[in-house]
């Protein structure tokens, strides 16, 4: 489900709840507003988590409150199912307020048109948003994705079959693609 950002310039602070979800790829910081999931952060050990919470407070104008119920209950349940191997996209209400412009356009296209168990090339995704020569810009949009896993930037790969980059690290990208059946699981 897509939810737009708050109207530009309304100056209102946004209540934010957060929790850390232990997952098959390590701890994930999840943050949500009343509009939907607003942030997913990989490798959410204490120092990184604290930096992200400070950044969220500055971006959204309110101190995030630790809570695993209310705004985050659905996200925690759905991501638990995803990491347990339940096929399907992680379809949740999303708050897009931490991205905008071209990046938001690309991320929304990715979320709506690249289903579980499939991949798309950077150039192909650029073409889908009407910018066929913008593969590098699509890569930058993937790198700025505030909602990885849920907005599945791990499904974007190089046209020659390479994995490309990934903010959570290439091993994490491999694990997510293996979970979805795109790559074989390792023998070791």
Model confidence pLDDT, tens digit, residues 102-131? 999 999 999 999 999 999 999 999 999 999
The sign of the torsion formed by the CA atoms of 151, 89, 76, 187 equals negative
168 close to 150: Cβ distance less than 8 angstroms: no
Q: Is the pLDDT of residue 44 over 60?
A: yes
Residue 68: both structure tokens together: 């695993």
Closest CA to 152 of 99, 60, 93, 88: 88
5 close to 52: Cβ distance less than 8 angstroms: no
Total H helices, total E strands in the chain = 6, 8
Question: E strand or H helix at 134, and its extent?
Answer: none
Burial (CB count <10 Å: 0-12, 13-18, 19+), residue 74: middle
pLDDT score of 87: 87
Is residue 89 very low, low, confident or very high in pLDDT (cuts 50, 70, 90)? Answer: confident
Catalytic residue annotation: 153
pTM: 0.89
Burial (CB count <10 Å: 0-12, 13-18, 19+), residue 176: buried
């Amino acid at each position: 489900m897509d939810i737009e950002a708050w109207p530009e310039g309304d100056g209102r602070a946004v209540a934010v709840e957060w929790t850390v979800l232990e997952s098959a790829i390590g701890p994930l910081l999840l943050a949500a507003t009343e509009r939907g999931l607003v942030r997913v952060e990989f490798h959410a050990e204490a120092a990184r988590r604290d930096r992200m919470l400070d950044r969220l407070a500055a971006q959204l104008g309110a101190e995030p409150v630790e809570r695993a119920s209310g705004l985050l209950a659905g996200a925690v349940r759905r991501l638990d199912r995803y990491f347990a191997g339940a096929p399907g996209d992680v379809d949740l209400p999303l708050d897009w307020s931490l991205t905008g412009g071209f990046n938001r356009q690309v991320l929304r296209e990715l979320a709506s048109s690249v289903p579980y168990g499939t991949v798309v090339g950077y150039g192909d995704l650029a073409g889908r948003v009407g910018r066929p020569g913008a593969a590098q810009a699509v890569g930058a949009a993937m790198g700025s994705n505030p909602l990885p896993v849920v907005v599945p930037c791990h499904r974007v790969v190089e046209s020659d079959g390479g994995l490309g980059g990934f903010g959570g690290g290439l091993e994490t990208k491999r694990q997510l693609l293996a979970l979805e059946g795109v790559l074989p699981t390792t023998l070791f």
